[in-house]
Chains A and B, each alone.
Chain A
Amino acid sequence: MGMRKVAVVGAGMTKFMRRAQETGKELSWQAARMALASCEMTLDDIQAVCLGTAPDAFDSIHLKGEYLSDGAGAWGKPYMRSYVGGGTGVFAPIQGWYHVASGLFDAVLVVCEEKMSSFYPHAQGAFLTIFDHTTERPLKPNLLWIFAMEMNRYMQTYGISKEDIAHVAVKNKRNAADHPCALLGNPDITVEDVLNSELLAWPVNRLDVSPVSDGAVALVMVAEHVAKRVTDKPVWIQGVGWSLDTAYWTNRDLAYPRYVEYAARMAYEMAGIKEPRKEINIVEPYDPFDYKECHHLEGLLLADRGQAPQLAIDGVSLRDGDMPVCPSGGLLGVGNPIAAAGLMKVAEIFWQLRGEAGARQVPGQPKRGLAQAWGDLMQVGTVVIMGTNP
């Protein structure tokens, strides 16, 4: 395609917290500084900055991209905020990728931040404002009950039970117990704990959902000649993809995320992947709800339709299973500061492929991983495939 090769060479991440004292600027700065330090680069080495952050409403600052720019290291540099809702955290590195792949820049810093605790009394309130003002908002929809309806349709279509899906929450929260930045890690959680947690909007219980959080994550992405200079363990971007379904909630297939499939097919083609189930070693699909991990694995063509919950039940998707899914602990366990959570997934693949994931390291020296996020009006899929080979 005439594109240059692009590698990730550094990553940094703050703790994901329920409510941080730090401002969004300060969280962004902490992550940016850690990412640069991790590859012994300085801001002088960075030619452009890409910022990802979700609705302005969360931090309660309009023009949030501009507000966060100093913490992201954007002073005096080409800078742009990208925003595709919940999909942002995996889109921002795609923006970083084309900045470098195009030949425009040799080194970029990608920073994703969210401070959801500012919105009072609860970040769900921000979602009252994203729906159509005449046909939907008078019914006061929020994402919990909108997704409860999607989960119900998914369960009905394939004959899946709440118990089947709860295995995903258990797996991810147990995995997160090994993540030093995690908010909700719990090595002892059981399926019963999930099923018996507070019922929010049937069939969604509290432990089926990821927590509102504050946090930031950053990556350093560079061209091949820079990668060779700064590290002997570059992790290469092999494929990227993104795709959008209709903005109308009522014109979408709620049991199958076709937009995720389109995004995945774009990324698989770029990466030269013919049989994704055999060629992808680790997966970090977007899991703000436990059923969404299943939904997304099916859209990514990594599970048959309606069969994804079985991967967690059978142990295939455990950290030491044949196809580890969310070894980080995912949004369900590490936390869900929206854009930062998506980029955390890309950072996790980076650490896993370098063998630097510590207690979370999946066995067998994985060669290739996939991170995916989902968002906008619940209809965008964003996918990044990374590998140890260019």
Chain B
Amino acid sequence: MSLLERYPNAPGAWLGELPITSRYTAGLAGERFLRAIKDDGKIMGSRCDRCGITYVPARQFCERCLDELDEWLDVGTKGEVYTFTLLFENLDGTAREEPEVVAFIRLGDGGLVHKLDEIHLDDLDIGMLVEAVFKPETERQGSILDIAYFRPTSP
């Protein structure tokens, strides 16, 4: 079934739109987190010793005790696949020739949701170790997509 299946008995429509354009700030922590990816190819976490949690992506404060987090650490670029899915259809309902793989990669006590690539679908498994592949430095824009994707790796 297509995601855009039509209802044949629908009443007549008045067309309108909710035009929204936004310009976000990355925030105090977000600015520093994204700069570390862009400038250094590093993924940073921040640590709350009181609660024993390493937040990834790094945050400005601990959500459990509201302490300010000034202990930042490089959590490396390798993490385990915590879960994944395979996307067989595009948003407009058309079929993909090859499924896209998206995964939640565990880093510190958090992690990133990102794409997996350079992978044989038969090898895909929860618990497998993957590593970040960064775009060339000249193409990075301070975006989470400066990490092009994650790919399988060994310890």
- A residues with a Cβ closer than 8 A to B are 19-23, 25-26, 29, 32-33, 36, 42-44, 57, 60, 70-71, 73, 75-76, 117-121, 125-126, 128-129, 133-134, 137
Contact = CB atoms under 8 A, between A and B. Distances in A.
A126 B66 CA distance: 31
A324 to B, nearest CB: 34
Contact of B27 (A26, A36, A128): A26
B14 A73 contact: no
A236 B65 CA distance: 27
B29 A118 contact: no
Which of B20, B29, B64 gathers the greatest number of chain A CB atoms within 10 Å?
Answer: B20
Given A26-B60, A36-B66, A42-B65, A119 B22 contact: yes
B66 to A, nearest CB: 5
Contacts of A117: 23, 25
21 contacts: A21-B27, A21-B28, A22-B25, A22-B27, A23-B24, A23-B28, A26-B60, A29-B61, A32-B66, A33-B66, A44-B65, A60-B20, A76-B64, A117-B23, A119-B21, A119-B22, A120-B23, A125-B20, A129-B18, A129-B20, A134-B14
A121 B18 CA distance: 14
Nearest to B15: A133
B71 interface: no
Given A20-B25, A21-B25, A29 B20 contact: no
B63 interface: yes
Interface residues of B, number: 23
B22 A60 contact: yes
Nearest to B65: A43
Contact of A23 (B16, B20, B25, B65): B25
A32 B29 CA distance: 17
B26 interface: yes
A308 B30 CA distance: 47
B11 interface: no
Contacts, number: 70
B22 A118 contact: yes
B155 interface: no
Contacts of A23: 24-28, 30
B27 A75 contact: no
A134 B22 CA distance: 25
Given A23-B26, A25-B27, A125-B19, A75 B60 contact: no
Listed from nearest, the 7 A-B pairs whose CB atoms lie closest are A23-B27, A60-B22, A70-B63, A120-B21, A75-B63, A120-B23, A129-B18
A157 B106 CA distance: 65
B76 to A, nearest CB: 24
A25 B65 CA distance: 14
B110 to A, nearest CB: 12
B27 A118 contact: no
A73 B62 CA distance: 9
Nearest to A115: B25
Given A26-B61, A42-B65, A125-B19, 14 more contacts: A23-B26, A23-B28, A23-B30, A26-B28, A33-B61, A33-B68, A43-B64, A73-B66, A76-B64, A117-B25, A118-B22, A118-B23, A129-B18, A133-B16
Given A21-B31, A26-B60, A75-B63, A137 B16 contact: yes
Given A21-B28, A26-B28, A119 B20 contact: yes
Nearest to B67: A33
